[in-house]
């Protein structure tokens, strides 16, 4: 079995890819995908620790995260659809009503 | 049973409020009139049951409920029927009933007739509360409520600017008096610890002491309240303008009842006024001055209702003159007869105005006797009564006042002279009005003359009834025949006097003859000026143009008040508006807003509105926390 570090490095890489995507990309759907990437990076770290420590706690938390991610996907995509209807664009930089 | 006197008009208000709008003008008019008729019967019943009691104990009290039980202040909603309030209640309900009846005809076809009858009944209820109240506060409630109804009815045709303005003027001028009245109530409470008539008035002498400063102050403040409500110098200016209201309102409120509330109040407080000779002197002097001032203004006015309005102010002056010399019985006697003949005169003028479709200028009238026979003779009866011609009602009451002004310990020759001069002016302006309106050549356009018609029966009936009262109303107070002065004997105990005061018959007959001669002289001069020598009156006006203009413009008192009081207050208000409202209050509010806005402007760069910058901020925050935990943990 591969050592724990490998899992953790992969997890960190996924998470970092997600972060960079959220910050850099403009398309709301891509930003959304990147958030999923971050969540799954974190999930990988949880299950890796769970497996190495012989504990079910890690898997338990992953189930929670997946449930939340599913709910978030439903609401998030609905918001994206509405933004597109209103603004004819999915560019997050166009959603700036809070600005004066 | 006592409370039913005042609850009946209130019931009329409620019925008309609930059903009057839908059932229409006719229904509302008869409900209101019926309520007043029943109230009159109740008042008559109360009067008869008072007569059944021995003279010293004539007082019926009715306790409704504890109104304000707060600490030391115990105010009951209770009512008192004694000879004084019984006379007032009879006048209010009796004359009020006739005027309601007249209104059914007069207001026919007016869009606001239902509203009118609701106001009129509400006024009757308030006025009865005023005269029947058994303590200062119930009286004050009635006092304020009649002021409100007066405001509502003066401004009844509020589409007309002048009517709305007149209502406002009446209300504001009355506030000045009401304010003084209220302070007097505070003083009474602080000295007596109670506001009940039954507590305060009997103890007045013992608590305050005769001639004390407190008694004088209370009495002067009470009288200041009366000058507002009863249109005396200096607060009389609202009454002539109040003629903007419908004519029956002028008859009921601004001639027969409400404006006499001040006289009633002074008479009711006679125990207090007895303690202060100074206040009595002020009352009598103001009364005498008012009767001369208003009487002389009435001589030169050309609006039929304004002549009557100034005449009312002048007659109220007589009543205060009487009250001021301690002749309260004479004051109330004149109040009653005045209610009869002045209501008659106003209703008669309303009948004229009705027939001429709103014309009020006597210069455009004349010769109306042929077209309006009933109005003409009833109006003449009213004129004879107010001029004090024997044996009409005004003769007896005016004679009683003149006699008291001369012989009372507080009176004097000057007061009598003022009263006699007033009697001359009264006779002159009244008959000037009668001659110019009903006699001589008709100056109306021909087509209007042809359409001239007498008012409907429902309006003539009250005129005839009031004419009968104006003839016979004075006979209940015959001064010379001992035992026939029913009025004086009935009211006497209220003012702490024994029945049947001694009269010096020779002096009284001589004074009667003088006042009668003076009145006849006034009528004769009016006849000379306006009937025999056509235009002689105008010639005198041209000979003394200054005097004429002074009288025509009412001594410029309105202009004086405008310059001395109204305009400075307006300017001060505008200044306060600019300085405080704009400079202080608005500045503070706007300044607070501007400060928040400036602070917001300084930090608003943090909010870029870009989702990504928020994400970066969150990330940086999470990273910072992570670093902190790692460093601390290591």
Dihedral of CA B108/B111/B117/B120: which sign? negative
Q: Do A92 and B612 touch (CB under 8 A)?
A: yes
Rounded to two decimals, what is the model's pTM? 0.80
* pLDDT tens digits, B379-421: 999 999 999 998 899 998 898 898 888 888 888 889 999 999 9
Q: Which two three-digit tokens encode residue B232?
A: 């005396």
Res B225 pLDDT > 90 = yes
Closest CB to B615: pick one of A22, A95, A100: A22
Q: How confident is the model at residue A98 (pLDDT cuts 50, 70, 90)?
A: low
SS3 B61: strand
Q: What are phi and psi of B61, to 5 degrees?
A: -115, 145
Q: How confident is the model at residue B634 (pLDDT cuts 50, 70, 90)?
A: low
Residues 6+ positions from B187 with CB-CB distance below 8 Å: B214, B217, B218, B221
- Whole-number average pLDDT of chain B: 89
Chain A contact probe: residue of B597, B609, B611 with most A CBs at under 10 A: B611
| pLDDT at residue B477, as a whole number | 76
Q: How far is B613 from chain A (nearest CA, A)?
A: 8
Q: What mean pLDDT comes out for the span B564-580?
A: 91
| pLDDT at residue B439, as a whole number | 87
% chain B with pLDDT above 70? 97
Per CB-CB distance under 8 Å, the chain A contacts of B604 are 100
Q: What mean pLDDT comes out for the span B556-577?
A: 91
Residue B567 touches chain A, beta carbons under 8 Å: no
Residue A70 touches chain B, beta carbons under 8 Å: no
| pLDDT at residue A99, as a whole number | 65
Give the long-range contacts of residues B165-169, CB within 8 A, separation 24 or more: B165/B241, B166/B238, B166/B241, B166/B242, B166/B243, B166/B244, B166/B245, B167/B244, B167/B245, B169/B237, B169/B238, B169/B241
Relative orientation angle of helices B611-633 and A4-24, to the nearest 10 degrees: 150
Q: How confident is the model at residue B592 (pLDDT cuts 50, 70, 90)?
A: very high
More confident position, B358 or B426:
B426
Q: How confident is the model at residue B535 (pLDDT cuts 50, 70, 90)?
A: low
Q: How confident is the model at residue B500 (pLDDT cuts 50, 70, 90)?
A: very low
SS3 B183: helix
Q: What are phi and psi of B212, to 5 degrees?
A: -75, 155
Q: Do B619 and A19 touch (CB under 8 A)?
A: yes
| pLDDT at residue B480, as a whole number | 56
How many Å apart are CA A33 and CA B322, to the nearest integer? Answer: 102
Nearest chain A residue to B600, by CA: A100
Nearest chain B residue to A99, by CA: B609
Per CB-CB distance under 8 Å, the chain A contacts of B608 are 96, 99
Residue B513 touches chain A, beta carbons under 8 Å: no
Res A100 pLDDT > 70 = no
Residue B616 touches chain A, beta carbons under 8 Å: yes
How many Å apart are CA B392 and CA B401, to the nearest integer? Answer: 15
Residues 586-605 of B with CB under 8 A from A: 604
Q: Which of B225, B235, B49, B68 is nearest to B135 (CA)?
A: B68
| pLDDT at residue B429, as a whole number | 93
SS3 A27: strand
Q: How far is A92 from chain B (nearest CA, A)?
A: 6
Radius of gyration for chain B, computed over Cα atoms and rounded to the nearest angstrom: 30
Q: Which two three-digit tokens encode residue B538?
A: 């105008």
Alpha carbon separation from B20 to B13, B15, B29, B353 (Å, rounded): 9, 7, 9, 27
Q: Which two three-digit tokens encode residue B499?
A: 């029945």
Q: Domains in chain A, ordered, with CATH?
A: 4-87 (1.10.287.3510)
Query: What is the CB-side half-sphere exposure of residue B131 using CA atoms within 13 A?
Result: 31
DSSP letters spanning B540-577: HHHHSHHHHHHHHTGGGHHHHHIIIIIHHHHHHHHHHI
How many Å apart are CA B330 and CA B56, to the nearest integer? Answer: 20
Please, are residues B322 and B404 in contact by the beta-carbon 8 Å criterion? yes
Burial B603-623 (b: 16+ CB within 10 A, else e): eeeeeeebbbeebeeeeeeee
Per CB-CB distance under 8 Å, the chain A contacts of B610 are 92-93, 96
| pLDDT at residue B498, as a whole number | 44
Closest CB to A23: pick one of B604, B607, B615: B615
Res B113 pLDDT > 50 = yes
Per CB-CB distance under 8 Å, the chain A contacts of B609 are 96-99
| pLDDT at residue B499, as a whole number | 40
Q: What mean pLDDT comes out for the span B57-78?
A: 87
More confident position, B56 or B482:
B56
Residue B224, judged by CB atoms within 10 A of its CB (0-12, 13-18, 19+), counts as: buried
Q: Which two three-digit tokens encode residue B447?
A: 């087509």
How many Å apart are CA B279 and CA B295, to the nearest integer? Answer: 24
Alpha carbon separation from B487 to B94, B174, B476, B492, B541 (Å, rounded): 17, 31, 6, 8, 43
Please, are residues B106 and B112 in contact by the beta-carbon 8 Å criterion? no
Closest CB to B608: pick one of A19, A31, A99: A99
Q: Do A93 and B607 touch (CB under 8 A)?
A: no
Q: What mean pLDDT comes out for the span B535-564?
A: 82
Q: What are phi and psi of B70, to 5 degrees?
A: -125, 110
Task: Specify the DSSP class assigned to residue B254.
Answer: I
Q: How many CB pairs under 8 A join A and B?
A: 27
Q: Which two three-digit tokens encode residue A94?
A: 């166009």
| Poorest-pLDDT segment among B233-242, B298-307, B545-554 | B545-554
Q: Do A23 and B608 touch (CB under 8 A)?
A: no
Q: What mean pLDDT comes out for the span B28-37?
A: 94
Closest CB to A98: pick one of B607, B612, B615: B607
Helix or strand (DSSP H, E) at B62? strand B60-70
Q: Which of B382, B632, B407 is nearest to B501 (CA)?
A: B407
Q: Which of B119, B116, B117, B179 is nearest to B143 (CA)?
A: B179
Q: How far is A23 from chain B (nearest CA, A)?
A: 5
Residues 25-54 of A with CB under 8 A from B: 26, 31
| Poorest-pLDDT segment among A59-63, B204-208, B444-448 | B444-448
Per CB-CB distance under 8 Å, the chain B contacts of A100 are 604
Residue A75 touches chain B, beta carbons under 8 Å: no
* pLDDT tens digits, A5-58: 999 999 999 999 999 998 888 888 998 899 999 999 999 999 999 999 998 999
Residue B626 touches chain A, beta carbons under 8 Å: no
Nearest chain A residue to B613, by CA: A23
Within 10 angstroms of residue B600's Cβ, the number of other Cβ atoms is 11
Please, are residues B386 and B424 in contact by the beta-carbon 8 Å criterion? no
* pLDDT tens digits, B162-176: 999 999 999 999 999
SS3 B81: strand
Relative orientation angle of helices B213-229 and B197-208, to the nearest 10 degrees: 140
Please, are residues B351 and B335 in contact by the beta-carbon 8 Å criterion? no
How many Å apart are CA B155 and CA B163, to the nearest integer? Answer: 5
Chain A contact probe: residue of B610, B614, B617, B619 with most A CBs at under 10 A: B610
Alpha carbon separation from B370 to B344, B361, B367, B464 (Å, rounded): 19, 19, 7, 18
Nearest chain A residue to B622, by CA: A19
Q: How far is A32 from chain B (nearest CA, A)?
A: 12
Straight-line distance from the first to the last Cα atom of chain B, in angstroms, rounded to the nearest whole number = 97
Q: What mean pLDDT comes out for the span B268-276?
A: 91
How many Å apart are CA B68 and CA B64, to the nearest integer? Answer: 12
Per CB-CB distance under 8 Å, the chain B contacts of A16 are none
Residues 6+ positions from B334 with CB-CB distance below 8 Å: B315, B318, B319, B322, B394, B397, B398, B400, B401
């Amino acid at each position: 079995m591969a050592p724990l570090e490998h899992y953790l490095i992969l997890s960190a890489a996924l998470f970092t890819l997600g972060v960079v995507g959220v910050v850099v990309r403009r398309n709301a759907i891509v930003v959304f995908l990147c958030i999923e990437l971050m969540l799954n990076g974190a999930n990988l770290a949880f299950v890796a620790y769970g497996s190495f420590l012989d504990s079910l706690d890690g898997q338990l938390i992953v189930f929670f995260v997946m449930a939340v991610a599913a709910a978030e996907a439903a609401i998030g995509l609905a918001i994206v659809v509405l933004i597109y209807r209103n603004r004819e664009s999915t560019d997050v930089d166009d959603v700036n009503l809070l600005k004066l | 049973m006592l409370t039913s006197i005042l609850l009946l008009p209130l019931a009329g208000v409620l019925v008309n409020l609930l059903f009057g709008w839908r059932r229409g003008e006719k229904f509302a008019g008869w409900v209101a009139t019926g309520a007043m008729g029943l109230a009159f019967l109740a008042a008559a019943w109360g009067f008869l049951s008072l007569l059944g009691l021995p003279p010293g104990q004539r007082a019926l009290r009715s306790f409704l409920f504890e109104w304000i039980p707060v600490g030391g202040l115990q105010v009951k909603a209770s009512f008192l029927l004694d000879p004084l309030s019984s006379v007032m209640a009879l006048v209010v309900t009796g004359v009020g009933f006739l005027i309601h009846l007249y209104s059914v005809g007069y207001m026919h076809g007016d869009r606001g007739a239902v509203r009118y009858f609701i106001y009129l009944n509400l006024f009757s209820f308030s006025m009865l509360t005023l005269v029947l109240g058994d303590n200062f506060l119930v009286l004050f409630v009635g006092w304020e409520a009649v002021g409100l109804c007066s405001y509502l009815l003066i401004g009844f045709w509020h589409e007309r600017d002048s009517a709305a303005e007149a209502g406002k003027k009446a209300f504001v001028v009355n506030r000045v008096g009401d304010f003084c009245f209220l302070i007097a109530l505070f003083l009474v409470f602080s000295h007596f610890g109670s506001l009940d008539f039954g507590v305060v008035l009997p103890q007045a002498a013992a608590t305050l002491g005769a001639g004390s400063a407190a008694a004088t102050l209370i009495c002067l403040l009470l009288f200041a309240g009366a000058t507002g409500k009863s249109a005396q110098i200096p607060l009389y200016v609202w009454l002539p303008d109040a003629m903007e209201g419908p004519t029956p309102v002028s008859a009921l409120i601004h001639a027969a009842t409400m404006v006499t509330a001040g006289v009633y109040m002074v008479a009711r407080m006679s125990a207090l006024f007895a303690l202060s000779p100074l206040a009595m002197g002020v009352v009598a002097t103001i009364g005498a001055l008012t009767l001369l001032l208003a009487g002389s203004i009435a001589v030169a006015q050309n609006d039929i209702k304004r002549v009557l309005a100034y005449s009312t102010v002048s007659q109220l002056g007589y009543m205060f003159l009487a009250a001021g010399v301690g002749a309260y019985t004479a004051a109330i006697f004149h109040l009653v007869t005045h209610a009869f003949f002045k209501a008659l005169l106003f209703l008669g003028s309303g009948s004229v105005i009705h027939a001429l479709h709103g014309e009020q200028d006597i210069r455009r009238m004349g010769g109306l006797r042929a077209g309006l026979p009933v109005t003409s003779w009833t109006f003449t009866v009213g004129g004879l009564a107010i001029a004090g011609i024997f044996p009409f009602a005004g003769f007896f009451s005016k004679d009683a006042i003149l006699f008291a002004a001369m012989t009372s310990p507080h009176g004097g020759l000057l007061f009598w002279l003022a009263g006699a001069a007033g009697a001359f002016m009264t006779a002159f302006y009244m008959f000037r009005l009668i001659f110019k309106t009903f006699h001589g050549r008709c100056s109306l356009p021909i087509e209007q003359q042809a359409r001239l018609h007498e008012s409907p029966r429902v309006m003539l009936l009250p005129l005839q009834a009031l004419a009968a009262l104006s003839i016979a109303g004075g006979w209940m107070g015959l001064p010379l025949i001992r035992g026939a002065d029913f009025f004086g004997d009935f009211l006497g105990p209220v003012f702490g006097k024994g029945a049947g005061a001694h009269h010096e018959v020779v002096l009284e007959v001589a004074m009667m003859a003088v006042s009668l001669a003076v009145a006849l002289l006034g009528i004769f001069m009016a006849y000379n000026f306006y009937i025999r020598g056509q235009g002689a009156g105008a010639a005198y006006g041209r000979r003394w143009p200054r005097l004429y203009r002074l009288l025509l413009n009412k001594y410029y008192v309105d202009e004086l008040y405008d310059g001395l009081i109204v305009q400075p207050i307006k300017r001060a208000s505008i200044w306060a508006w600019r300085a405080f409202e704009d400079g202080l209050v608005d500045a503070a509010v706007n300044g607070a807003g501007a400060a928040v806005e400036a602070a917001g402007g300084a930090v608003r760069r943090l909010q870029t509105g870009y989702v990504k910058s928020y994400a970066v901020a969150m990330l940086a925050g999470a990273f910072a926390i992570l670093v902190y935990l790692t460093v601390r943990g290591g």
